[in-house]
Structures are given as structure tokens and as C-alpha cells.
Structure 1
Amino acid sequence: MKSMAKMKYHYGLKMRCYPSNQQKQLIKINSDASRFIYNEMVAIGKELMQLRRVKLPIDTVQDRIKQLTMRQNAKQMSNHYQFLEDERIDSLAKANAIQNYRKAWNAFRKVPGVPKFHRKSYRWRYQTNCQYPGQKTALLTNGTVCFLDNSHVKVPKIGLLRVAGSQARLLKRMCETRIGTVTLTKDSADRFFLSMQLASDESFVEAPKADHGHIGIDLNTDNFLTDSEGNIVPNPRYYRTIKGKLVKEQRILSRRQRRAKKEHRFLRDSKNYQKQRLLVAKLHAKVMNQRHNFLQQISTALIKNHDLVVAEELRSKNMLKNHALALSISDVGWRSFLGMLAYKADLYGRQFITVSPRNTTQTCHNCGFVMGINGTVKLTLADRKWTCPNCGTHHIRDWNAAKNILDKGIAKLA
């Protein structure tokens, strides 16, 4: 049986799940255990880093280093903390917590800063794995995590979970399909989700023949995007639409928080505060779902209908420093959109590249003249239409930029 890494195609599946009260308790227990082990690994790592800076061969220091090093695995940690041997805790959840810490520690070599402690919050999360003991072929229906039908999934320690999502299409596949890491989560709006990593040697989607060849897209805050063919996708501005209602509900939440603290009550025991917190979380979740659905539909349409998609290489982190545009940039979700284009291009066998946005707006697509030279003034955000002083061509700003982005992308591939 092939491992996940050796299989050609990989796919992520996320489903909404509806656990019973007893199953919710089991998810909470495994989430807490996973967080505790991760934080314990962070504490051990920080202490080892400090002890190894002591260059003197002190026996006490060396013994402590040896003791901490031995504790860095699931079995030894369970022996040290007896509550981790609870039968309700998935052993693979403990192993995944340690593996996640080691991935974070390896990232420390690339990004400054050591792994941080995971704080306790309203979000729950833990990971397990699907195993195939005694099976010759991996399917969606014969592992330790498996589908019983379109609406039910069996998960170790949790049992039978009722789910809803797009899994029905995948269950019709007769080819070998392996389930890898499985993640159970609860968000701040008290919604539960089950996510799976899938792998197969056959594609998970049917790639239709592209209707068009190449396209360049210009992302902006006025409209969501303008492509090189002159098509404009308007910006839905989901957050701005709900902002007034959200501000009102957050004020009520703040008042209830102050009242609870004044009366020396814990927020977790304050029923009115928890009701209002859940209401605010659902408003945030609604905006997130609307934006996510919009980005998914636009990115899928672009990738399925074009052989090559070229976009600007945007650095949203730097752009958010502009306080006048920060809200609009955060609301539009550019980084998420570019990420969707990237993975869907791999999924459908298309090409997606990003190019430098330098002078894409200031350059005339017809003659190549760049505004800001030879005594001309650079275009500002207020200039939505302009005429080239060199050749006299009249341009719609975003359409012209999209054409320049496409030309840069074709030149980059040449």
C-alpha cells in the first residue's frame, strides 16, 4: 500500500459535523490534551535551550537535559502525567501534537522566534490519523477513519459522526483513495467541522477543456478585479455591509463583560455574556462564509476557463500600513484569493503565476510610455481613466493594468 507522499494527487475535504453532547465532551478532552502536550513541548524546548547555553559540565545541568530530552515523546509524557493515560484520549492526537510542535520548531530556523504557547480559547482542535491495519488497498470505507454512508463517518474514540458536505461525489470513486490526517475543530461560533487529507493516483476533479487561453487580472479596492478582456467583477464589501450591526452587538458585549467583572463573576459562567459572545461570533462567521464562497466561485471560474492566469504579486501586510485603505484591503481577501488560484491551478492542471506590480498601472499598454517621466505626473488612485501623452490612447486604468500584467506573465514564461 502506497503512503500519502508517494501518491500523485492530494485533496482536502472539509465537512460540517453534528456531534452529540457526549461526543462534544470527548472532542473537548482530546483538544485539551493536545494543547497541553504542545505547550509542555514548548516549555521543555525553551528550558533545554537555556540549559544548553550553560557551557560548564555541571552534572545537575546534564542530568536535567537528559531527563527533558527523554520526555519528548508521547509515551514518556503519558507516564509522567498520569491523566494523559485516560482511555478517552486518542493516542494519535498526542503524537500529532508533538509532531506539530516539531514542525513549528523547524520553522524557527527560517522565521525568527520560538514556538509560542497555545492559549485556552473557545476554539477546540485536535488531529488524528487514519490507519489501514491488514488492508491491501486504501479506500474511503475501510480505514480506522471511514465513511459508512454519505452522512456518517466513523472516527476513533468519537464513534459515529453525522456530517454534511461535498463528500458524496468522492464516495462514488472506485479507485484507491487514502485518508491521511483527520482534524476535528470547533470554532468560536460553536460550529464543528471534520477535515481530511486525501491522496490518490487518480485526479479528484475532471479538468474541462479551457474556453479561453491567457488572462491577466488586476486586483483593486474599487472593483474586486478587472481582467485583460475588460470584464469587471464588483467588490461585494461584505464586512462594510454588516459593520453597523456588528458594532451595535459588540457594544452590548462590552457592557456585559464590564458588568460581569464588576460583580466578580467569571465570563465563562455569565450566561448573558456567553449568549452575546455567540451572537457576535456568528456575525463574524457569516461575513467569513460570504467572502469565502465569493472567492471560491471566482477563482474556480478563472482557473477552469483559462490555460494561464497571471496576477500581481501583492504584499497585503505592507499595504495594510496605509490606514486609509486597511479596512478595504482586509475586507476584499486578496491573499486568500491568490492562494485559491495557486492550489486550484495544480488541481485542474492549469498555469498560475504572479508578477511584480511595478509600473503596471503607470505604463501605456499601446506604446509602453511610463507616466512620471519626461515631465509627466504619476497617476493617483483618483485617476480611473487617463490618456497617454505619448500616443494619445485613452485608457481605463484597471483594464490597462490587467493587459500589462498579462504581458509580464507571458514574458516571464518565455
Structure 2
Amino acid sequence: MKRMSSLAYHFGIKLRFYPSSKQKKMIKLNYDAQRFVYNSYVGRNRTNYHARRFLAAKQHQAMPFAFSALNSYETKLAETIAANDELLAKPKSIRDAYDFLRVKEIDSLALANAIQNYHKAWNNYRKIGHGIPTFHKKSSAWSYQTNCQYPKQSEAYLDNGTAKFIDVKHVKLPKLGVVRIAGFRKLIKDRLLNHIPTRIGTVTIKKTADDQFYLSMQLGSDISFVQELPTTQSQIGIDLNLDNFLTESNGSMVANPRFYCKAKKKLARAQRVLSRRQRRAKQEGRNLRTARNYQKQRLAVAKLHDKIRRQRENLLQVLSTALIKNHDLVVAEELRSKNMLKNHALSQSISDAGWRSFLNMLAYKADLYGKQFKTIDPKFTTQRCHQCGTIMGQNGYCKLKLQDREWTCPVCQTHHIRDWNAAVNILEKGQGIWQNPRKEKAA
């Protein structure tokens, strides 16, 4: 049987499911167990790091080629380092060291995934230079990972692994057993009924802050999950902005729904009630996790936040799918949202728009459906006249300001709508038919 990484196509699905009260307790238990294992690795490695530095500095102060005797504290540090190294040497060691990690309700693969995620975090840190693994705090949102295994099967299907589909409404998961699901996808139904070889990889069980449970599965197969769409001989450039969510190079616009801004007042009132209940519970010396009124209001606030998130995600999913299906080439400007969020006047509106998520959706859907998606450097795209190539801010012309939504080219007298003109320039730059502005200036 092929490994997951060697399969030609990969696909991810997310389904909502409805666990029983007993299954909810098991989910919480596995979440706590994997968090404990992850935090144990973080804590013990930090202890070893600081202890080794202390001992190395102590030895460096000693005479060259001479080892000073260790005092009781330094001896204890050396013993701690040895004990931690022994415990962290093998993945099974930490499970053997703690009895509560060996109860039958805890999935051993959840603990193994916690260790694997810790090592992945360090690998990512070594690649990009920041993001050291930190402690995972308690949260009202739970999640843990397990894996689907095929111990005796020669071929992997959706219904013969340790995590499998029973029918269109039920899934069997390791330790949890059978759970009822909602939102079954036609793609999965066809593969299940037609018995198409499909391997289930990592399975993530998650509870959101508003008490909804979701199941995410990583699927792999040598047979494509979707068919490549026919060519449309259409190319388009899109300009993302705040007045309208996006403007296309063909002149059409999509309004900015501003989901967060519309719900901000209602959300603020709910959060004020939450703050009052939190303050009162603390004054009475009650634990917030057992304060019923506080938890009831926390759930109400979480549901409001989740509604905003789902509204935004639905818009981005529908819009990105429509753009990819109707055009062979989609060109957008490369936006660095992290830098743009430093502008305190626009940061809330930029976060509300979800530009980065939208560009990510366009990228993976273009690969999925066999289309092309490009991002280009946005330099000069809003300052250039697409008719004659004149760039505002150069050769004595005044640079356009942010409030200039319409303008007239001083050379060819073409009247432009700023966002539409930018979308046309973005498309031309993506097609490679726009000369470098420096070369135009020199010419």
C-alpha cells in the first residue's frame, strides 16, 4: 500500500458531527492529554537548554583543561538533564512515565501527533527563523489529531480503515466510535459508492468556542478528486480595495459586505455583558469555568464571532470558485496584510475583508481545477494610465492620493475610475505586456 505522501492527489474535507455526552468527555480527555504531552516537551527542552547554558558558563569560568567539582545544585541540574533526555529520547517513554496517559479512552496516536507537531514546529523555526514552540494554554476550543490506519488491507478505501465512513450519515473514529455527521459531500459519496481507492490520512477532531464539533480529514488518491475545467479563453485582473471588495478588469465590481462592521454594535453589547459577569464572578470568588451565567454569555459572544467568520468565509469561497471556474488566468496584486495592518486607521477594515484568505483560496483552487493564478508586484498599478502608460508621480505629474477615486490622465485625457484602471494594469502586468516603468521613463 502506498504512503500518503506518494499519492498523486490530495484533498481535504471538513464535516460537522454530533457526538454524544460520553464522546464529548473523551474528546476533552484526548485534547488534555495531547496538550500535556506537547507542553511536557516544551518545558523539559527549555529546562535542558537553560541548564546546559548554566553548566557551560560555570565550566568556562574554571581553569583551562580542568574540571571543577559540581556542587549539589549543579549535580541536580545534571541529573535533571539526563532524566529529561531519557524521557524525550523515545515517543513511548513519556506515555510509560505517566499512568493517566495509558487509560483506554486516550488515543495513542493523539499523543504521537502531539510529539510530531512539536518537532515540526522546531523545523519551521529553523527554516524561517522565528516561531519557537510555546506552551499550549487551556481554551474553550478543543482539538486533537489522530490517524487512519490500514493494518491488514492491501488497498485503502474510505470504508476499510480504523477511521472510516459507515454510510452517508455516519463515520467511525478511533476510540470515539460511530458519530453522526452532517453536510455529506457528493464527491465523497461517489467515491464511497463506486469503491474508488482513497486513503484517509490525518484526522482532526475539533470543538469550536461556540460548542460546535467538526471533523477534518486529509484524503489521498491516485485518481483525481475533481476534473479539470474546460478552458474559457478568458483572463481577468482583480484589484482588492476597501470601497468595493474587488474590482475586475472587465469593469464589474463586488460590494464589500463589511460583516464585522455591521455586527460590531451588537457584539460590543454582548461583550460588555460578558465583562460584567466576569467581574461579578471574580468578586464572589467563583471559578469562571463553573460560573453558569458567565459561560452562557461567553457562548453567546462566541456564536456572534463564529457567525461573522462563517459569513466571510462563505463569501470568499463562492467568489473565489466563480473566478477560477469562469477564467483561465486570474491575476491579483501580492498583498502583505501583516504590513498593512500596521496602519491603525485601516487595520480593522482590512481584517474584516479577509484578503489573505481570499488569495490563498484562489491559489489552491487554481491548482485543483487546472487553471492559472498569478500575483504581481502592485508597484505603479494604481498610478499608471493603462491607455498611454503615463505614471503619475513621475515626470512632474502629481501623485494620486488615496482619496482620488477618479482621475483624468494629463497626457491622453482619458478619464479613469481608479480601481478599474488598477485592475486593468494588474492584468497587463500578469500577462507580461506591461513594460518596466523604469524602461518607459528612460525611453
Q: What's the TM-score bracket when you normalise by the shorter of the two chains?
A: over 0.9
CA distance in 1, matches of 2:179, 2:341: 41
Alignment correspondent of 2:113:
96
Alignment correspondent of 1:192:
213
Helix, strand or coil for the counterpart of 2:234?
Answer: strand
TM-superposed deviation, 1:172: 1.4
Tell me if structure 2 keeps the 8 A contact 1:140–1:171. no
CA distance in 2, matches of 1:264, 1:66: 42
Match of 1:69 among 85, 98, 105: 85
Tell me if structure 2 keeps the 8 A contact 1:150–1:168. no
1:54-82 Cα deviation digits (max 9, x unpaired)? 33477945554343222123311012111
CA distance in 2, matches of 1:36, 1:126: 12
Tell me if structure 2 keeps the 8 A contact 1:184–1:194. yes
Aligned residues: 414
CA distance in 2, matches of 1:396, 1:167: 42
Once the two structures are superposed, the pairs formed by residues 10-409 of structure 1 within 5 Å of their partners are 10-53=10-53, 54-55=55-56, 56=59, 60=75, 63-72=79-88, 73-109=90-126, 110-173=128-191, 174-409=195-430
**Cα distance change on mapping 1:24 and 1:413 into 2, 3 Å:** farther
Alignment correspondent of 2:440:
none
| Amino acid corresponding to residue 103 of structure 2 in structure 1 | D
CA distance in 1, matches of 2:307, 2:92: 42
Tell me if structure 2 keeps the 8 A contact 1:212–1:305. no
TM-superposed deviation, 1:167: 3.1
TM-superposed deviation, 1:176: 1.2
**Cα distance change on mapping 1:409 and 1:30 into 2, 3 Å:** same
Of structures 1 and 2, the larger Rg is shown by 2
**Cα distance change on mapping 1:249 and 1:296 into 2, 3 Å:** same
Helix, strand or coil for the counterpart of 2:156?
Answer: coil
TM-superposed deviation, 1:321: 1.4
**Cα distance change on mapping 1:131 and 1:413 into 2, 3 Å:** farther
Helix, strand or coil for the counterpart of 1:71?
Answer: helix
1:88-123 Cα deviation digits (max 9, x unpaired)? 100100000000000011122123242110000101
**Ranges of 4+ aligned residues in structure 1 off by more than 6 Å:** none
**Cα distance change on mapping 1:298 and 1:24 into 2, 3 Å:** same
CA distance in 1, matches of 2:186, 2:400: 51
Helix, strand or coil for the counterpart of 2:117?
Answer: helix
CA distance in 2, matches of 1:41, 1:413: 53
Helix, strand or coil for the counterpart of 1:10?
Answer: strand
TM-superposed deviation, 1:28: 0.3
Identity among equivalent positions (%) equals 58
TM-superposed deviation, 1:412: 9.0
89-98 vs 43-52, greater mean Cα deviation? 43-52
| Amino acid corresponding to residue 33 of structure 2 in structure 1 | A
CA distance in 1, matches of 2:258, 2:378: 23
Tell me if structure 1 keeps the 8 A contact 2:258–2:352. yes
Tell me if structure 2 keeps the 8 A contact 1:207–1:304. no
TM-superposed deviation, 1:203: 1.4
54-63 vs 313-322, greater mean Cα deviation? 54-63
| Amino acid corresponding to residue 81 of structure 1 in structure 2 | Y
CA distance in 2, matches of 1:171, 1:130: 19
CA distance in 2, matches of 1:212, 1:382: 35
RMSD: 1.7
**Cα distance change on mapping 1:52 and 1:411 into 2, 3 Å:** farther
CA distance in 1, matches of 2:186, 2:81: 51
- What TM-score do the two structures reach when normalised by structure 2? 0.90
Tell me if structure 2 keeps the 8 A contact 1:209–1:305. no
